[in-house]
Each structure stands twice: as C-alpha cells, then as structure tokens.
A and B are shown apart, each in its own frame.
Chain A
Amino acid sequence: MKRKFKTILPYLSIGDIIKRGVNADLDELRELAFSGKDFLQKIQERESEATGIPSLKIGFNNVFGYYLEVRNTYKEKVPETWIRKQTLVNAERYITEELKDYEEKILGAEEKITDIETRLFNELVLSLSEYIPALQLDSNLIAQLDCLLSFAKVSKENHYVRPEINESEILEIHQGRHPVIEKQLPLGESYVANDVYLDSSGQQIMIITGPNMSGKSALLRQTALITLMAQMGCFVPVESAKIGVVDKIFTRVGASDNISLGESTFMVEMSEAASILNNLSSRSLVLFDELGRGTSTYDGISIAWAIVEYIHEHPAHKAKTLFATHYHELNEMEKSFSRVRNFNVSVKEVDNKVIFLRKLVRGGSEHSFGIHVAKMAGMPQSIVKRAEQILKQLETDNRQSDISKPVDKIAQQREGYQLSFFQLDDPVLEQIRDEIKNLDINNLTPVEALNKLNEIKKIILGK
C-alpha cells in the first residue's frame, strides 16, 4: 500500500491531507521533510560551486532516489567520489554518499507521515460512519426539495397552473396543452389548447374522430400527461384543471411498432388491450389511439366497437376513456350508448385542401382526409387524383350496398349487431353467426371474448 502511494504522488505533496496542529508527531515529521528540501537545495548550490558545474540539478525518481544530474558538457568536471547511476542522451546522473544519507532520512520521514495521515484519515472516516443514517435522511430531504424546486421552475417557465386535485371521479381540463410538443413548436407558432371533460355518469367515453395528423394522438397523450404531472405534484399546462384522482392510466396505440419483432401486430394489439380490460377500475383513465389499426377495416371496427361497448357496459367500473379512431362508423355508438360522446378534431377543407385547426369540437366527422395527407406528403399528383376517384366510387358504392347503413342498424339492435355486417348467403358467415349466437356474453371474460374474436377471424380466413 505504501509503495503505491509513493508511485502515485510526487514526493513533496505528501503530508497535505491532514491539517497542521492536529497531530504533534505529524507536524514534527513534516518539519523534517521540509527542512530536507531546503537542505537539498543547499547541497545543490554548494556542489555547483565546488565543481564549477553551473547547470547542476537535483532530481528524484523511483528507481534510485535522489540524484545529481550533469549535462554532458560538464561531464569532465564530475568529482571521482560521485557514483554514476544512469546515462541519458545529453546528461548523466550521479549519487553521493551525502545524498543517500539524506534520502534515507527524508523518505523515512515521509513514510511515517503517510502512516500517520492514513491512520488519522481512517479514524475520521470511521467517525463519519456513525452519521450515515442522518446523512441519508439529509440527502433524501434535499432530493425532495430539489424536485419541488424543479417543479416550481418549469411551472414558471412554461406557464403552468396549479391543478385542483379532489376525490371526485371527474376529470376536467380547460385549455390543456401537450407539455412536450408545445416546447418543440417552431417560433411564433402556438399550441392549440383543448378542453377535455370526462366523468363516470355523463360523459364517460369520448370518441374522437379526425383525419390523420390532426392532433388526435397529441390530445390523448396530453390528457394523460396532465393527469400524471398533477399527481406527481407539479403544476400543469392548462388554463385550469380539476382532477379527480386517477389510480391507473392505460394507453394503447394501434400497433405499428412491433413489426420488427416478427409478432403479428394484431395479436400484439389485442394482448395489450386485453391486459387493460382485465385491470379496469372506476378511477382508471384509458386512452386508445387507433386501436384495431393492425387488421382489416371490418375487424378493426368491430373490435373497437366491442371494446368501447365493454367499457361502457362494465357493471362495476365506469372507466374514463378517450378513444381516437379514424373509423367514423364508431360515431354511431353515441346514439345508443348513453355515456358515449362524439368529438372530432376539426379541419377545414378549402379549395380541396385541408387546413388543420387542431381544435376539438363536438360531433362526429365524415371523412378521413387520408388522401389530403398523402398529397401533403408529396405523393405524385397522378396517384392523388386517382385515389380521389376511387374514394368517390367506393363511397357511392358503399351507400348502395349498405356498408354504412348496417352500422345504423347495429346501433339499434345491440344484441345482434355483428350479424348485419354480412350478407348472409355465405356459409362461412353463417358459421360465424352461429358462433356468435351461441356465445354467452354475460359469462365471457374480455380475454375470452378476444380469443373468440380471433377464432372468428380464423374462420373468415379459412384456416
């Protein structure tokens, strides 16, 4: 250990840890070591004069301790009593009896200094260790203060407001903003704030439709983030907010990520959704963003519908839910489910172009505006034109062959809504009808329901 010390520290800085006046022995040894330094200086001066070597130097290294260094120019002047130890390119190093004697003294002193300092330092550390619990408490309290100061700081900088927290089951956000996105907007642009109101008796489920890029996802996330920030004890980016404490926050986004892992996106979506439905509580805040995107339109609509219905009809827990979707067919649900409300993120269509207003307004929406987004993304003009034609075609066709109409019916006759989706002249569809008819909905867990749905899907795919 001592050896290590010496190789790490230059010899003169030894003795710089413990203050003077703490230990008498230590001070005495230091005196010795330091006067040694003066003494070396004197040896150098004296020898320089005696031998007539003006550039004589005294140095130290780990291998042979103190030495006298002579430039080659003056090599001849070196007295015979000196012992040559090392030859460099343009200098030689020597030791003398006197130097060795002194070295022993100094190093002996230094070694003792190290010993004493080490001992004193270790004693000090040992005495500190008695205070560990107190110091741990201190650092925890400082951490708390630091966090709260941080909250105050960001709240001031970003114009957050204190939320009102209560025991109710009402979530009321007035002019809420997305804390992260609002920080990233280009200069001069301001975030379009929105109101969100959810409770367990009147407006439990908000179905939000709107074109892609209109800000549905941001609205969903900001609602969760504001709630979360409030319950962390931070102010929130709103004009005002009343938050009945939430005990669980669930967010599900229609699959798009996990593709790289080779899992079926639909399967992933469904298993993630299932874990929500198994864990609902009255104080839950549930956000679904484009659920059912991972499958065909009909599958997507029916699953989305079934899930909203499940949450709405749950006997014990009226979980507050935001459901963003581009299936405007889901707007039909408002008619027959009393606590479902339709909203849409408004867009204006001017001269066949879309302007995103990003404002949440009451009511459903008609189109998805996907084609406009494609246009904005720089899709070739010819493709955009053709897509517009096809859309028009499909929309008129669908009206005739009753794609939107069955949805109306579904809303009216809830028990058997799945049936109306199909023209019942197909044996596969009949098989599905029977499957569904034989289901005992009341004794079905959500997971079973989803599994059943998966089975039904398999039937359709003919597997």
Chain B
Amino acid sequence: MSEPIVETPLMKQYFEMKSKHPDAILLFRCGDFYETFSSDAIEAAEILGITLTRRANGSAKSVELAGFPHHALDTYLPKLVRAGKRVAICDQLEDPKLTKKIVKRGITELVTPGVTYNDTILNHKENNFLASVYLNKNQAGIAFLDISTGEFLLAEGTNEYVDKLLNSFSPKEIIFDRTKKKEFENLFGTKFYSYPLEDWVFTLDAAKDRLLKQFETKSLKGFGVEGLANGVIAAGAILYYLDLTHHQQTGHITQLSRIEEDRFVWLDRFTVRNLELFEAINEGGKTLLEVLDKTISPMGSRLLKRWMAFPLKNVKSINERLDVVDYFFKHPELKEALEQNIALIGDLERLVSKIAVGRINPREVVQLKTALKAIEPIKQFCSHAENITLRTIADQLNACSIISEKIEKEIQNDPPILINRGYY
C-alpha cells in the first residue's frame, strides 16, 4: 500500500478489521457481496479467478477490489482455504435499514485449514485435526482437536513420539510457540501447515484455566491428564486459538482424553509409509486402507483409519473385536440388517457438532431424526445378539426418542435448507 488510500468511512472500517488479522484474507461484507480490497483483492482474484477491478476513492485515488455474491461463499471459501490461506469473514452485524450511519460490522469467523466447520472444506472420510505442539527441552506435549467432531486428545513424550503422532493423525494445521520455530522445523520439517503463536500462550496456568473453564470442572483429574503438564499446555493453546479464530461456541467439546501409547502398537512413520497403510508410495498404487475400508458411514470411515494407525496390544480387547467380526460372519442376516440401518445415519458425528455451534439447518435436523430412528432397530438387533460386546453397545446406544418425536412433530419432512441463515 504505497500510496495512501483515501479514508472513506467504509475503508476506515475495513482497515480496522484488517488490522485484527493482518495475515488473513479479509472477506468484507458489503450488501449482497463479500469484497476484498488492496493486496487481498489481488491474491483473491488470482486464486478464485474472479475479476479484479478498482474502486475510485475520492479524486484520483483508487483501490483494488474483487468480490463475489455472498451466497457463493460456500464455493469460494474452500478454494481460498485449500490454497493455504487464512480467511477472516467480516459480516454486517445489524440491519442496514435500521441505521442511518455506516452499518456495524465484525469478524464472525477466521477460517484456517485446521479450524473449520465448512462442509465443503471438510473431507467426510477423514478427520480435520488441528494440532498444537509444545516443545520443552527433550520432552514435548501435543494436543489434537477436530472441531468438526469435537474430538480432543492430548499426549506427551519424546520428540520422536510426537513426530510419530503427527504422522498418524496428519493434522491439517499445527500451532506452536513462535520462539521455538527453528527447533520445531528441525524436528518435524515444513511439510505441515503451521502457525506460530506468542510464547505466553504456552504456559501451564493459562492452559489449565482455559481447560477448566471449557469443561466446567474443578480439576483435570477426571480426564486422566493431570500429570501431563506439557500435553496440558498444548491443549490449552488450542483453546486459545479457537478464541483467536472466533470459534466461541464449543459446547460439543465435552471431553479431553489422553492418547494412551501403551495400549497401542508402535508404528513409526517410516513403517507407516513403507507398509503403504494410507498412502501408496508409487503413483496409482493401492493402500491397505482402500482394501479394508468398506465402512458405510463417514464416522466409521474415520474410525477405521484410527484403528489402523493404532492397532491394539491387549489380547482381550483384540479378541473382543474378533468375536464380533466372527459373529457377523456367522450371522449374515444380522450383518445385513445393521448395514441397512447404518446407511441411513449419515454423518451423525458432525451433525452433533453443528447443533453445538448453532449451525444446523432444518434439513439437517430432519436428517438427525432419520438417524435416531435408524438407531432404534440397531439397538434392538444388537441387544438380541449372543455376543457380549454387541449387547454392551446395545445398552449404550440411545435412540433419544424424545428428540426424534419432537422433530417429527414440529419440523416439516422436506424443509428448505435455509432458514434465516446467511453464513452466520
């Protein structure tokens, strides 16, 4: 911005917003459009293939401008995020008809590769993890959060162990302490999308406070993570980051669990690569995952990946799984019945998260009803199985009939997707 841009009230407001997230592309809502200005506009025009124009701002001054209609956000936002950009969305916070002055605006979300609910960015077959790494001499703490499912995990150990976990979970973004950038890159390379935060974010007291507030508990003992200071610091930093990116509605993050390394087979990254579990080494090669994944639901597909990255060591637990597989093998009619019903459920896990963040639309509410109604027979079938694991699952399944009845009673069966939902 070599030449000063004339400060119309609008541009003044724009720069005020932009200064809050200077490293993000700011989508600035103006009426029915999201606009980008100045260097953002040049970048956005290139990535999105939209027209770059100039807006005259007073005499002889102009500013680059590129924009798209607000309803096309779902089309353009993923492109920006996939291009590795952070995108701040600035919306109009009041009805323009009700104000005489310039309409009030505010940033409603900062979308980054690791933090998003947007269905068009998420791949339903995999988790979208944000990782946080805290390096402390030879020990390191690490935490993972998938905000689209609410799953929140932590661990700590040697740098090697953390490296292994990073490779097993393949997070879409990693946050770390700015002052340890060199160390971080030496250890884990630069292949992950990473974002540095100030060092004061990574302190134990601040982290604990944030976690206790999130879970509304007095201590972290219930989660079995009390003694893992490094991991707790990493987890706390994740909550800080959610705040920073305007993701305040986190009612679906109800648990923090420790990744219990001693329960699982150790597979380091060379082994995972050599065995071609998830990715083929040669182009066009097939992976073990492709052979084994015949799951029906998106959450099943995500869990299968996890099971493959973390095989069990305990004979009893392994046999429990084998018993169930055996049982299905011998009772194909049960298998078929379950498959049919699971096919109706859809991505229940991400629907639930959408409830928590208030972004569920009427059609998704109806999908929730369909899912719950499919759970009823699943529970029935499993409860009659002569297999203890299946019966336990039946006991725990909750068809939440109160909800499904309520939805049935109140919501049309084929409602429009949109209620008064713009993006926010």
Contacts and interface: CB of A to CB of B under 8 A. Distances in A.
B295 A251 contact: no
Nearest to A121: B419
B342 A7 contact: no
Interface stretch (B177-185, B229-237, B397-405): B397-405
Contacts of B39: none
B251 A129 contact: yes
Contact of A124 (B271, B312, B411): B411
A125 B360 contact: yes
B48 interface: no
Given A18-B411, A151-B325, A275 B268 contact: yes
A235 B314 CA distance: 16
A404 to B, nearest CB: 31
A86 interface: no
Contacts of B302: 143
Interface string B304-322: 1001100111110111111
B348 A138 contact: yes
B349 A136 contact: yes
A148 B396 contact: no
Given A19-B412, A142-B375, A147-B307, A137 B295 contact: no
Interface in A103-151: 114, 117-118, 120-122, 124-125, 127-129, 131-151
Nearest to B32: A7
A18 B412 contact: yes
A9 B322 contact: no
Interface in B341-384: 342, 345, 348-349, 351-352, 355-356, 358, 360, 362, 365, 368, 375, 378, 382
B111 to A, nearest CB: 20
B275 A247 contact: no
B294 A19 contact: no
Interface stretch (A159-167, A295-303, A350-358, A413-421): A159-167
Nearest to B410: A22
Interface stretch (A43-51, A176-184, A424-432, A436-444): A176-184
B348 A142 contact: yes
A193 interface: no
B311 A231 contact: yes
| Size bracket of the A interface | 35 or more
B150 interface: yes
Contacts of B319: 165
Contacts of B352: 132, 135-136, 139
Contact of B300 (A118, A136, A147): A147
Interface residues of B, number: 94
Nearest to B326: A162
B416 A13 contact: yes
Given A151-B325, A180-B287, A132 B315 contact: no
Contacts of A234: 292, 321, 325
B122 interface: no
A391 interface: no
Interface in A387-426: none
Given A13-B416, A162-B326, A232-B312, A150 B292 contact: yes
Contacts of B342: 142, 145-146, 149
Nearest to B422: A4
B252 interface: yes
B321 A233 contact: yes
Contacts of A248: 265-267
Contact of B365 (A124, A156, A228, A252): A124
Q: Give the interface centre of B360, B368, B420 by most chain A CB atoms within 10 Å.
A: B420
A244 B403 CA distance: 47
A280 to B, nearest CB: 11
Contacts of A100: none
B286 interface: yes
Task: Classify the secondary structure of B's interface with A.
Answer: helix
A257 interface: yes
B268 A146 contact: no
A120 B95 contact: no
A8 interface: yes
Contact of B271 (A17, A148, A224, A230): A224
Contact of A179 (B288, B329, B351): B288
A183 B286 contact: yes
A231 B418 contact: no
A128 B355 contact: yes
Nearest to A284: B266
Nearest to A135: B352
Contacts of A127: 403, 406
A134 B275 contact: no
B410 A124 contact: yes
B362 A17 contact: yes
A22 B318 contact: no
B265 A249 contact: yes
A271 B308 CA distance: 26
Given A1-B420, A132-B252, A275 B318 contact: no
B244 interface: no
Contacts of B187: none
Nearest to A22: B410
A22 B326 CA distance: 48
A365 to B, nearest CB: 24
Interface in A217-239: 221, 224-225, 228-235
A289 B271 CA distance: 12
A379 interface: no
Given A4-B422, A248-B265, A135 B348 contact: yes
Given A137-B398, A156-B329, A252-B274, A150 B293 contact: yes
A112 to B, nearest CB: 13
Contacts of A7: 32
B119 to A, nearest CB: 16
Interface of A: 1-5, 7-9, 13, 16-19, 22, 114, 117-118, 120-122, 124-125, 127-129, 131-156, 158, 162-163, 165-167, 179-180, 183-184, 221, 224-225, 228-235, 245-253, 257, 272, 275, 279, 289
21 contacts: A8-B418, A19-B411, A118-B420, A129-B251, A129-B355, A132-B355, A136-B254, A137-B398, A139-B349, A140-B303, A180-B288, A228-B277, A231-B313, A235-B322, A245-B313, A245-B318, A247-B265, A250-B268, A250-B271, A252-B274, A275-B160
Given A167-B315, A246-B313, 20 more contacts: A1-B95, A9-B416, A124-B410, A124-B411, A128-B403, A135-B352, A136-B352, A142-B397, A146-B299, A146-B304, A150-B295, A162-B326, A180-B286, A221-B275, A224-B275, A228-B288, A232-B321, A233-B320, A234-B292, A249-B275
